Structure 1
Amino acid sequence: MKRILVPFLLCFTAMLAPAAVIQEYNATRAPGFFFWAVGSGTIGWYWTPSQDFNLQSIETVLNTQGNNINNNFILTTSLFTERPAAGGNLIDSHTFNGAGYSGGWTGGQFAAPVSVTAGTSYFIGLSGWDQVLTPSGGGGVNWVQPTDYPAGTTFDSLFPGYTGATYDVQMNAGPEPANIDFPILRFVGTVPTSPVPEPSSVVFMLSGVGALSVLVRRKR
């Protein structure tokens, strides 16, 4: 019986592997100021996964420094096949409230993991800053602040950034560092090690193991 159970349990444990950070951008950088420039409150970047995996969450870091920062808004993080302005379709999205944010990584979770493919271009859109935009302040941004742009510094980037109602405008277009929006993002999920069976298949396998256990006991 042990010969049957051990391989099964190892396989089942692999299927339930904990989520981990698969890919990240500018994780050690500090975010800039508040989102002052655009009333639409959106910004997004193209992203190409480095490997196949099941994406569970897209996390970011919002700026909390300054008297004019207000993170009490709902940030929506969306995964598209392409920019909506370029004909892209929404794959899935998740939300979180920036209120009470402590300065670390934060983000919601997709209702179900999204399978992403290495080498395939996706578009990551974030929206919601317009909820708290005022003439003197707003929600903290999630891209690198200008003081992190010393000469010769290199960044992990998803440049260019796009804003506007449907991500139709390139944000701060220009070659100078002050015009470039390097996002702070990380992608959390699991890397499948074997085909994951349907829930009904898992129940069937468990019932089969139970039946084998009963049969072995009877033979003894």
Structure 2
Amino acid sequence: MTMRQIYETDLYSNRNPTWHEEDAPWKASHIEKIIHRNQLSFKNICEVGCGTGDILLNLSNAFPGVDLCGFEIAPQAYARAKAKERDPVRFFLKDFLQDSEDHYDIILLIDVIEHVEDYNAFLKAIKSRSQYKIFHVPLDLSVQSLLRGWPIMNLRANVGHLHYFYKDSILATLKDCGYRIIDHHYTASRLELPNQAVTSRLMRLPRRLCYAANRDLAVRVLGGYSLMILAS
């Protein structure tokens, strides 16, 4: 079974019945933050791999008058998104690169590229489709995750992560694919999201203390963070 078939069948949905929609307000807030910080001017936003659509629905409240659309290949996630569709947010059960030729002001790729088998080809193909791209990429590679081993393998088995990054490797990947990095910041998923595992809750204080002392070192050693990136 290919990775794409995992999303097009019931396999991913059975393992992740909420499609992580409970994380959408938190992710949308970080997208809003990087947009405002860079004073972007835009009329539309497209999310590739929009899941159940809740990120776009949250952004529609933050940016009234902006057209938003989401593309999704998983029928189960699309059905949930379509049921919540409201003007000016639209959802499509389509492969963005194969079934659309439209150009957008901003394309969102939120926790997507780690699932794509040939992510370099994907990044190169999508580059010309918008003025700006906003990525959210989990930084799965850390000293503690490599020492324990099983966290990375669990991500592969349960949520379909095929590729694993740390800050420098994802920024270098984007540059190699022709992107210009405009801005980026860490997001603390293991600190800020609810329903964390016991081990993550135990690591909250060490992560906070180390992060206050040296952000890059804390992320690389202890993990628990993702990277929000604005590129063109």
User: Which TM-score band applies after superposition, normalised by the shorter structure?
Assistant: under 0.3
The structure with more helix, counted as a fraction of residues: 2
Question: More relative contact order in 1 or in 2 (CA 8 Å, sep 6+)?
Answer: 1
Determine which structure has the larger strand proportion and give its number: 1
Rg (Cα) greater in structure: 1
